[in-house]
Amino acid sequence: MSRNYAIITFLVCVITISVYSRKTVPAKEVPADTMQKVFEEVKTPYKYGVVLAAPDSTKMADSPTVFRMNGKWYMSYIIFDGRGYETWLAESDDLLHWTTKGRLMSFTENTWDASQKAGYPSLVDIIWNGTYEPMKYENKYWMSYLGGADKGYEAGRLGIGMSTTADISKAEEVLRFPAPVLSAIDDDVRWYDNKTIYKSSVIHDAEKKTGYPFIMYYNAAGDSTHEGHQFESIAMAASNDMKQWKRLGDRPLITKGRGICGDAQIVKMGKLYVMFYFGYNWYDGDHSAFERFACSYDLINWTPWEGENLIQPSVGFDKQYAHKPWVIKWNGVVYHFYNAVGDKGRVIALATSKDLSR
C-alpha cells in the first residue's frame, strides 16, 4: 500500500510540475492578432515634417535618440561632415521644436575612435507611455557609441564604444572608455559580426530574462554575403556591469540575408516587448529604406511583423529613405522620429499618430 501511495504521489508531482512549466514558459512566437494590435497602437500615419537638420548643406543629421529629464525633452543625434560622425544634443519643450545645445562627442586624434563617434544614450526607460528617463548606474549616465578611426561615411572597421557622464542633459564631452567593448576582432566574434559593427542600443532588464541585467542590441555585417554584398543583421550581447560584454546566441535575432536590418529600439508594452528597426534593400529593384517592428515575450525570440511598413518613403523630404526609428508615446500621441533622406538632404523627421501639422 505504501509503495502504491509513493507511486501516486510521484505521478501527481510530475503532472503538477509539467502543468506549472507549461503555464510559466511563454510561447516563443507572438500570435498574429497580438501583432496586429501592436501595429494599431504604434502606427503614425501623419508626417509632421523635418524637426532637426544639419547646420548647412555640407553636413548630414542622423540617428535620433529621445529621452526626458527635469521636465524637458532631449535628443541626441549625430552629424556627418565629411570626416565622420560627431554626437550632438538638442532640447525641446514639446517634441516638435528643437534647439541644438552642443556636442557630446567630438573628433580626436590618435585614438581608436578618432573620426567616428556616433552616440546613443543607454538605459532609457523602455516602458511604453513611461517616463523615458535614462537610468543611472554606478551614479553615472551611460552612452554606447559607434566608433572608428578611419575617415569617411561609416568607413573602415567600426566597433562599439562605451562612455559615461555625470549629466547627459548637458552638452559636455562624455568620458569615453579607451577601447571598444564590442569589436569585429573579439575572441568570441560570430560569423554575422566579424566584418564591422554599427549602431547599438542598451537597455536595463530588471527581470534578467537572459540572466543578465544589461542587454545590448546591435547591427553588424559578417562573412555571409548576398550576391557579393555584405548584409547587416540585428544581434544581441549582455553584461553584468556595462563594461564587459558577452555575445548571446550563435545566430542573428533579425535578418533577411540581404540588405539591412538595423538600428533596433526596444519598448515594453505590458509583458510584450516590441523592437522597432529599419529595413533596406530587402527586395530586388527596391532600394528604399523603411520602418518595421517585431515582438517578443523573452527579449530573445522575435516575431517579425508581416504587414505594411510603419513608415516608408512617400513625400519629398523622405522620398529616398525613411529609417532609423525612435518611437515614444506621450499624452496619448505616438511620436515616431526617424532619419529622412530626400529633397532636404539627410535630416531628422517626425511622424505622429494624430495630425499635429502646423
| Pairing state between β 99-105 and 333-342 | unpaired
Q: How buried is residue 90: exposed, middle or buried, by Cβ count under 10 Å (0-12/13-18/19+)?
A: buried
Per the structure block, which three cell numbers stand in for 290?
523603411
| Contact status, residue 291 vs residue 44, Cβ threshold 8 Å | no
Within the chain, where are the H helices? Answer: 2-24, 32-42
3-state secondary structure labels for all residues of 139-194:
CEEEEEEEEECCCCCCCCCCEEEEEEECCCCCCCCCEECCCCCECCCCCCCCCCCC
State the pLDDT at residue 194: 94
SS3 23: helix
Contact 159, 182 (CB under 8 A): yes
pLDDT in tens, the chain (358 residues): 444 444 444 444 444 434 333 344 455 899 999 999 999 999 999 999 999 999 998 999 999 999 999 999 999 999 999 999 999 999 999 999 999 999 999 999 999 999 999 999 999 999 999 999 999 999 999 999 999 999 999 999 999 999 999 999 999 999 999 999 999 999 999 999 999 999 999 999 999 999 999 999 999 999 866 565 689 999 999 999 999 999 999 999 999 999 999 999 999 999 999 999 999 999 998 899 999 999 999 999 999 999 999 999 999 999 999 999 999 999 999 999 999 999 999 999 999 999 998 6
Q: Which residues have a Cβ under 8 Å from the Cβ of 297 and sit 6 or more positions away?
A: 26, 27, 28, 30, 271, 272, 273
Beta strand pairing status for 141-148 and 289-296? Answer: unpaired
Q: Compute the distance between CA of residue 289 and CA of residue 324 in angstroms, rounded to an integer.
A: 9
User: Which residues have CB under 8 Å from 300's CB, separation 6+?
Assistant: 209, 210, 236, 248, 249, 253
Predicted TM-score (pTM) of this structure: 0.91
Residue with cell 547591427: 219
- CATH of region 32-352: 2.115.10.20
Which has the closest alpha carbon to 34: 300, 205, 274? 274
- The pLDDT score that the predictor gives to residue 160 is 99
Quote the CA–CA distance of 249 and 42 in Å, as a whole number: 29
